Structure 1
Amino acid sequence: MKKRLVFLVIAIFTLGVLISGCGKKEQATDNSWKEIQQKGKFVLGLDDSFPPMGFKDDKGQIVGFDIDMAQEAAKRMGVKVELKPVQWDGVLLSLNNKDIDVIWNGLTITDKRKQQIAFSKVYLQNKQIIVTNNDSNIKTKKDLAGKKVGLQLGSSSETALNADSTTTKSIKEIKKYSNNTEALMDLKTGRIDAVVVDEVVGRYYISKKPGQYKVADEDFGKEDYGVGIRKTDVSFKNELDKTLDAMKADGTADKISQKWFGKDIIAK
């Protein structure tokens, strides 16, 4: 009986050593950061029609909040950024197939996506905010009772509002638009009383029309944004995380946020 016990202890110890050795071997073979350095760049996949995160300006150049963040990070890491527009519905596949190195384009961190890819540390917290005209007395979700509210059809805003059945039932009318620009135009002319919209989008448009709009005190929930990275690229992820931390610490990320949103919405 004692011999069996000894053999069992030896077997468990040996198995532990083997597992530990395999883990170290996998970690040691991760050359993702060295490969990026050798290439001298990382390829950033994005939907180039998503203002203000990444979009084409009047000159056809891709600009945006995420573009500024990525370029600053790359500069600090001693490499460059190559911007590569991709089909958004296949963006995770593009990453895992190594067609791109990161997804940096207002990518929400979800449990489903975590099964397929890794994420950097959270760098931005998006909310579903309530935008009103500057002279409105709407401050809370309760204040939407009996009001006309606009949102983009099929958007995260629609999902978030529908999830709050109490507020939804109290609203007089929910008007759905093909895009947020149309909704905000109707808000300006008084056809509706409020617009529920992504904070990153809403604050961008508000910054373009100073004095016209304001944001209510309450919102319909938060979601975290992170940079999408392959699960195998551990050393690259670690280097990027360190760089993002430094950009937050010295205020650079705040300045980029102020430029695009008129407010610091960087996740601390």
Structure 2
Amino acid sequence: MRKKYLSFIVAMLGVFLLSGCNNGKTSLDEFENIKKRGYIILGFDDTFVPMGFKDASGEVVGFDIDIAKELGRRLNLEVKFQPIDWAMKETELKNKNIDVIWNGYSITEERKEKVEFSDPYVENRQVIITLKDSNINKKSDLEGKKVAVQSGSSALDAINKEEELMKKFQNGKPITFDTNNEALMDLESSRVDAVVADEILSRYYTTQRGSEKYKVLPEDFGKEQYGIGMRKGDKKFIEEINSILNNMKRDGTTSKISSKWFGEDIIK
């Protein structure tokens, strides 16, 4: 009986130690499996101009798309672009439906609890966009106004942090849309009074649609940085991506891609 009891204790201790090594803080690195498979599945919002979106012909294009393709080439891996519901991005990653979240993905403390981030590579702000003739000229003018934002976005997180101001919006909260494009189209139609969104997207969108129709307020909802999101514990994968991104900066590749999309080098 004593031998059986000791064997049981040893077995249970082994299970405990194994589970302790995989308690949600770490996981088996997937990079070797990805290399064996031969491709990376990249999850993105296919309306997020100019980072990653579908053009008029249905082709996936964008700044992040070009960076990802070059990174895949250097890893000798194909990159498969998978459109996802942006509000479900971390769930898609956790369930292994995608390998990376890469599409103007803002680094926040809340997201750090769910994913591992690469080094930041782009600076961004959460700006307030209105129509040119709007009487909204500063943040406090949002009181009583219909303010739009993309659901699941860092813009929504930024608004939520300024709870007292948010309570003064019409109905005490922002109006959420599945995409920034839908929010900005409602702004054009005057169905909402303002949109809070990434500056990079907003500047590109308003330039394409006619910048004379819009204004971006001097005040914003905070600065942030973009990074690439991977599963917790994918240390080797992160190291490889950071190394290649740094090499692309040094050899001028990212600068060329940035100039193609923005007319200047915006890489951090």
What TM-score, normalized to structure 2?
0.65
The one of 113, 118, 121 equivalent to 2:119 is: 121
Decide whether the 8 Å contact of 2:39 with 2:77 is kept in 1: yes
Q: CA deviation at 1:242?
A: 1.0
**Deviation digits for residues 222-268 of structure 1, max 9, x if unmatched?**
222211112232112101001112233344334434444455443x2
Deviates more, 1:147-156 or 1:63-72: 147-156
**Deviation digits for residues 181-203 of structure 1, max 9, x if unmatched?**
3355368xxx9997543212201
Which structure's CA Rg is the greater one?
1
Q: Which residue of 2 aligns with 1:109?
A: 107
Q: Which residue of 2 aligns with 1:48?
A: 46
1:181 aligns with 2:184: yes
Separation of aligned partners in 1, 2:223 and 2:50:
18
Letter in 2 for 1:41: Y
Separation of aligned partners in 2, 1:195 and 1:229:
29
Residues 77, 223 of structure 1: alpha-carbon distance in 2 compared, 3 angstrom cutoff: same
Separation of aligned partners in 2, 1:47 and 1:78:
25
Q: Which residue of 2 aligns with 1:229?
A: 230
Separation of aligned partners in 1, 2:226 and 2:205:
20
Decide whether the 8 Å contact of 1:150 with 1:183 is kept in 2: no
- Consecutive unaligned residues of structure 1, counting only runs of 5 or more, are 1-22, 24-28
Residues 35, 223 of structure 1: alpha-carbon distance in 2 compared, 3 angstrom cutoff: same
Residues 247, 139 of structure 1: alpha-carbon distance in 2 compared, 3 angstrom cutoff: farther
Separation of aligned partners in 2, 1:104 and 1:153:
17
Decide whether the 8 Å contact of 1:148 with 1:175 is kept in 2: no
Decide whether the 8 Å contact of 2:49 with 2:205 is kept in 1: no
The one of 53, 72, 75 equivalent to 2:73 is: 75
Letter in 2 for 1:108: S
Letter in 2 for 1:61: E
Residues 200, 94 of structure 1: alpha-carbon distance in 2 compared, 3 angstrom cutoff: same
SS in 1 for 2:58: coil
Letter in 1 for 2:236: S
SS in 2 for 1:223: strand
1:205 aligns with 2:205: yes
**Deviation digits for residues 117-161 of structure 1, max 9, x if unmatched?**
21111122321124467899x98758x699978644766546645
Separation of aligned partners in 2, 1:209 and 1:231:
39
- Consecutive unaligned residues of structure 2, counting only runs of 5 or more, are 1-20, 22-26
Q: What are the residue-to-residue correspondences of 1:136-215 with 2, within 5 Å?
A: 151-152=148-149, 157=155, 160=158, 179-182=182-185, 185=188, 196-209=196-209, 212=212, 213=214, 215=216
Letter in 1 for 2:97: D
What is the identity percentage for the equivalent residue pairs of Structure 1 and Structure 2? Answer: 44
SS in 1 for 2:114: coil
Separation of aligned partners in 2, 1:130 and 1:116:
28
Residues 193, 249 of structure 1: alpha-carbon distance in 2 compared, 3 angstrom cutoff: farther
| CA-based RMSD | 4.1
Residues 211, 84 of structure 1: alpha-carbon distance in 2 compared, 3 angstrom cutoff: closer
Q: What are the residue-to-residue correspondences of 1:18-29 with 2, within 5 Å?
A: none
Decide whether the 8 Å contact of 2:71 with 2:245 is kept in 1: yes
Q: Which residue of 2 aligns with 1:86?
A: 84
What TM-score, normalized to structure 1?
0.65
Letter in 2 for 1:64: G
